[in-house]
Amino acid sequence: MSTSAASAQQLAAGEAAAENRVQRMKLLSGKEDYYGGIIVEMDEPMEPSAFVSILRASISNWKVQGKKGVWIKLPKELANLIESAVKEGFNFHHAEKNYLMLVYWIPDTPDTIPANATHRVGIGAVVFNEKNEVLVVQENSGRFQGSGVWKYPTGVVDEGEDICIAAEREVKEETGINAEFIEVLAFRQSHQTFFTKSDLFFVCLLRPLSLEIQLQEVEIAAAKWMPFEEFKAQPFNHNNELLENIIQICSSKKGGMYSGFTPVPTSAAFSDEKSHMYLNSSCLSHNLSKQ
């Protein structure tokens, strides 16, 4: 959506006063959302002064229409318009590498603008072979660098990526091992890990489909299959409650005593997007809904 030639004729009949105000003015055009909001994606270069005029006229128009939240997405290339939007009362909402999303609340009522994303999501991948060895790596950077600690592969879940897919991808990328996701053994929520944001870290169990390690040398200094007893005995583990608990979970799992959460494909109520629900399927007596 760009600044369009949407003219005053598009205004509802009978809104004569507002119509007069904007008659000679182009208006911003946007996409409506489900909550009385309007989303404008700017793409045409514009002088700040022209932008302010068109923005004011558009807000008058949306006000007449009873709109609530106004979202303006400004690509990096239109950074010259940000200051003007702020002066017109817009707040920042979120930003990605190449754009900033600003938001403005029209009504006098308290705003119901949805919160920004608050969490980064990571995975740890526990992979055992049939010799009771666990797949471990040493990293080239980060806090474990040079510590001698062998850890299970970890990584960040990409935007739009399923947790179960991310676990398989990280194992493949770091070690060359093909592995199949089995279940989430546990997860940890921690705060203030990245500026004000929180982390959700899912520890996943995978089954190897191949055994030969091929190192990804940019991120990983070394990778190997390590006897579980040796992994457990690393002094580092005893200062780390997460790892101590994971080691206990793995021991229980080996004895057939532990069940985590397995993914079940689930449709969302209001969209065609497929999603995954993770639950303790070993405890359910009946079949789950369509799988």
| Residue with smaller CB distance to its own copies, 20 or 45 | 45
Under rule CB under 8 A, which residues in 38-67 are in contact with its own copies? Answer: none
CA distance 287 to 291: 9
What's the Cα-to-Cα distance from 21 to each of 25, 26, 54, 59, rounded to whole Å?
8, 11, 11, 12
Catalytic residue status for 173: yes
The residue from 124, 153, 208, 260 that contacts its own copies (CB under 8 A) is 260
> Phi then psi for 244, rounded to 5 degrees?
-60, -45
User: CB of residue 261 vs its own copies: minimum separation in angstroms?
Assistant: 7
Q: Exposed (0-12), middle (13-18) or buried (19+): which is 102, by Cβ within 10 Å?
A: buried
Tell me which H or E stretch contains 186: strand 179-194
User: CB of residue 272 vs its own copies: minimum separation in angstroms?
Assistant: 11
Strand partners, 203: 124, 186
Residue 35 and residue 67 in contact, taking contact as beta carbons nearer than 8 Å? no
Interface with its own copies, residue 286, by CB under 8 A = yes
Neighbours of 77 (CB within 10 A): 12
Interface with its own copies, residue 258, by CB under 8 A = yes
Interface with its own copies, residue 152, by CB under 8 A = no
Residue 67 and residue 37 in contact, taking contact as beta carbons nearer than 8 Å? yes
User: CB of residue 184 vs its own copies: minimum separation in angstroms?
Assistant: 8
Interface with its own copies, residue 157, by CB under 8 A = yes
Q: Which one is catalytic: 19, 88, 173, 219?
A: 173
The residue from 66, 130, 192, 229 that contacts its own copies (CB under 8 A) is 192
Q: Which stretch binds its own copies (CB under 8 A): 2-10, 21-29, 52-60, 96-104?
A: 96-104
- β 38-41/69-75 pair status: parallel
Interface with its own copies, residue 177, by CB under 8 A = no
Interface with its own copies, residue 277, by CB under 8 A = yes
Interface with its own copies, residue 89, by CB under 8 A = no
Residue 134 and residue 230 in contact, taking contact as beta carbons nearer than 8 Å? no
| Residue with smaller CB distance to its own copies, 9 or 192 | 192
Under rule CB under 8 A, which residues in 217-246 are in contact with its own copies? Answer: 239-245
- Residues belonging to the active site: 173
